[in-house]
Structure 1
Amino acid sequence: MKILALTSIRSEYDLLSSLFFKLHSDPEIDLQLMVGGAHNSPSFGLTKKDIELDGFNVLINIESLLDADSKSSRLKSASILLLSATDIVNQYSPDLIIYAGDREEVMIGALLGGYLSIPTLHFFGGDHASDGHIDNPLRHAVSKLSTCHFVSTKEHESRLKALAERGNRIHNVGSVALDKFSEINPNTGILNEIAGNKVDRPSALFIFHPVESEMDIASEVVCDSITALIEEGFHVFVGKPNSDHGNTNICHAIGDMERKTEHISVYGNLSRESFVQLFKASKLIAGNSSAGLLEAASIPIACINIGERQRGRYCTDNVVFVDTDKKSVINGIRKIKDQEFVTMVENIVNPYGDGKASERAYRLIKTIDFQSLLLKKEDPLLYVK
């Protein structure tokens, strides 16, 4: 069985890495990766090197990311990826194309599969946030173009059915992103290793990505939020933002904060192992990363989600949503430090899964007849209640 997996950014690659290892080790499967986007950009860590270190076979490396930090650059980058990949994918003729999430590159995977008559498998379909970000309608559009779906929760399964996807196309395996938390052990020295010196405060992980509706205030939000965490007694480990439009101003704000205080450590791209160990060593995660909603409960730690991004997304009670002003962030920090809240978080169960999803996904990939599901003939009108 020939499988082509698409990957364009470190965060999305690590979501599927546990599954990739299982597929790669199977002698009956030829797993090849199509590597594009931020993976091939020095500005974002040139993370294709990490894929090479993992030992996976790379069918094609595509330098598709325009490092322009504009609205149009994401669309242009996606078009480069599609144009560069089409002939090679057609020649390789895989039995299945795999992709995950809600970035523009997954649309390329869906289009390649649809127009080249190759079955496709979409991970994390049916998820939804009410923040108005383009990622949400794109995720749903990709689901309609995809052959099958491996979803994380019952709610996601129901949402896909509401989009008129047949039940035999949908499999609730749990989130494959959680497997790494059971596979990677804690490291008591990780904070000092990343900081480059002794960290004598409790640590907070901070990740803030650009959002169109908050573009004008993003720098202020980042500075105020980091300041609030420091004032409340934390050493803040700050991850640089993704390649979305607006990342430059956020990076500048992070750099300004780094020069002002010793209680901050900034990182670009960490290895999978180091990031999970940092996550496990932190007392909380703040910002607007999906990791706070989807993964923090597996440790478990609290999440303070700042601003509009991720609003309305399914999560459990360890997540506190706050506005972007400094006072709201401080109130959120004080809420999660309350002993009653701490006790609640210690006993929480992650609704996204048990850390064994990759094995379930692997076994299903081995048994599903994807070719028989390729043609999507179902009429949405038949699903109207």
Structure 2
Amino acid sequence: MRKICVITGSRAEYGLMYWLLKEIENDPELTLQLVATGMHLSPEFGLTYRQMEEDGFVIHAKVEMLLSSDTPVGISKSMGLGLIGFADVFALLKPDLILVLGDRYEIMVAVQAAMIANIPVCHLHGGESTEGLIDEAIRHSITKMSHLHFTATEKYRERVIRLGEQPDRVFNVGAVGLDNIKKLQLLDRESFEKSIDFRLGPLNFLVTYHPLTLAQRDSSDLVADLLHALDQFPKAHIIFTKPNSDMDGRIIGEMIDQYAARHKDRCVSFVSMGQLRYLSAIQHVDAVIGNSSSGVIEVPMFKKPTVDIGDRQKGRMKSRSVLECGDSADEISCAIRKALSPSFQEGLQDMTSLYGNGDTAPRIKEIVKSYPLDRILMKRFYEG
């Protein structure tokens, strides 16, 4: 039986891969090895490994690596701890393939350890571009250390090939997170309100704002502009989801909590909502605001507007439901008003997704199950 080791370091990443994990787990010819690391093991970020266990998954190993610091020094030290931890885990589990998603630093060190251990790597969501983040460099570095590639669009597939990867190892399968939208039974408005202990209003926003690791302005200034823009909509009920463990993530989280406390009659904040509640929130709000990739990839499936702030998602393919704006308060509030306009919202009803239709997990599973491994570690640069 082929052993597939899936590594996850964040609540969002696990949620995106949920149905892929199920596909691997339920296949009698495959063995799932699940490794939790990063924010999953941190009380500050909700100890979200427990959600995996509640979902019925066995966690085969935990790699403790996250220091209580979001400075560059703290994150670099966390990466060092992670590299040591993954080396031990791979020696113990001896997987046939490593499967990872995205562009986070904890995933990069897992892939580095796999490379040294001669374990082939399957990478999801390569070829994408996020110009405002160090994630851009991390993602492409992971691509060069990986052996099978599962991209979300044909454009991204072509970009991975231009990085020198052999075309027969690069598969355009769509975005794996869309499987959740197709398969989950989302909560109706009353059930959703009960699940988050918060009443929605006549106007509702879902706001997720992450640090820009290459930003020219301080994170506190950027968030202050976002919150000032939200002040222009005093009747809006706002659901905040707080940022990941990136540099300055704690500053942003504290400012969000303080804002929610000042407006507790119409605001609430969460460290982690989980996929069911998060996707249900999208279904019930009038607009999604911030700089999360979900606003670009998942939200268009709901035919809802996204106000995409700043450069964090610059470079990604975007549907017409995504309104790009600058990071000043005036630019953000102007984009929100446009997103709420009846003419803009009516224009979204015939829109289709750029990232597939929600059948990605079984396609990936079949490829990792059947792809020959005898010479997979031998990579030749593709010249085109």
User: Structures share a fold, TM > 0.5?
Assistant: yes
Name structure 1 gaps, 5 residues minimum.
none
1:230·1:263 contact (CA, 8 Å) conserved in 2? no
- Closer, same or farther in 2 for the Cα pair 1:129/1:35, shift >3 Å? same
Residue 57 (structure 2) aligns with:
56
Structure with bigger helix share is: 1
Residue 156 (structure 1) aligns with:
156
2:30·2:369 contact (CA, 8 Å) conserved in 1? no
Residue 168 (structure 1) aligns with:
168
C-alpha distance in 2 between matches for 1:370 and 1:146: 13
2:11·2:274 contact (CA, 8 Å) conserved in 1? no
2:205·2:237 contact (CA, 8 Å) conserved in 1? yes
Q: Tell me how large the CA RMSD over aligned residues is.
A: 1.7
Deviation at 1:165, TM superposition (A): 0.7
Number of residue-to-residue matches in the alignment: 380
1:207·1:239 contact (CA, 8 Å) conserved in 2? yes
Residue 94 (structure 2) aligns with:
93
C-alpha distance in 2 between matches for 1:54 and 1:305: 32
TM-score, scaled to structure 2: 0.94
1:206·1:238 contact (CA, 8 Å) conserved in 2? yes
Residue 324 (structure 1) aligns with:
327
Residue 118 (structure 2) aligns with:
117
- Offset from partner CA, 1:246-279 (integer Å, 9 cap, x none): 0121122112211221221111112321122112
Deviation at 1:216, TM superposition (A): 4.7
- Offset from partner CA, 1:210-245 (integer Å, 9 cap, x none): 113447543343344244335334211001111001
The amino acid that maps onto 1:182 is K
- Offset from partner CA, 1:153-197 (integer Å, 9 cap, x none): 001011011111110110111111110011122322255225524
C-alpha distance in 2 between matches for 1:53 and 1:291: 24
Q: Which moved more, 1:198-207 or 1:154-163?
A: 198-207
SS of structure 1 residue aligned to 2:347: helix
Same amino acid, percent of matched pairs: 28
2:295·2:322 contact (CA, 8 Å) conserved in 1? yes
C-alpha distance in 2 between matches for 1:379 and 1:11: 32
2:129·2:314 contact (CA, 8 Å) conserved in 1? no
C-alpha distance in 2 between matches for 1:324 and 1:190: 34
C-alpha distance in 2 between matches for 1:320 and 1:224: 17
Residue 237 (structure 1) aligns with:
239
1:119·1:371 contact (CA, 8 Å) conserved in 2? no
Q: Which moved more, 1:237-246 or 1:262-271?
A: 262-271
C-alpha distance in 2 between matches for 1:305 and 1:200: 23
Residue 307 (structure 1) aligns with:
310
- Offset from partner CA, 1:66-99 (integer Å, 9 cap, x none): 1112112222112211101213312321111100
Deviation at 1:141, TM superposition (A): 1.0
TM-score, scaled to structure 1: 0.94
Among candidates 293, 297, 300, match of residue 296 of structure 2? 293
2:198·2:268 contact (CA, 8 Å) conserved in 1? no
- Offset from partner CA, 1:286-335 (integer Å, 9 cap, x none): 11111101111111211101122111221111111111111111110111
Name structure 2 gaps, 5 residues minimum.
none
1:176·1:355 contact (CA, 8 Å) conserved in 2? yes
- Closer, same or farther in 2 for the Cα pair 1:215/1:70, shift >3 Å? farther
**Aligned 1:1-385 pairs, distance under 5 A:** 1-131=2-132, 133-187=133-187, 188-214=189-215, 216-229=217-230, 231-232=232-233, 233-261=235-263, 262-376=265-379, 378-379=380-381, 382-383=383-384
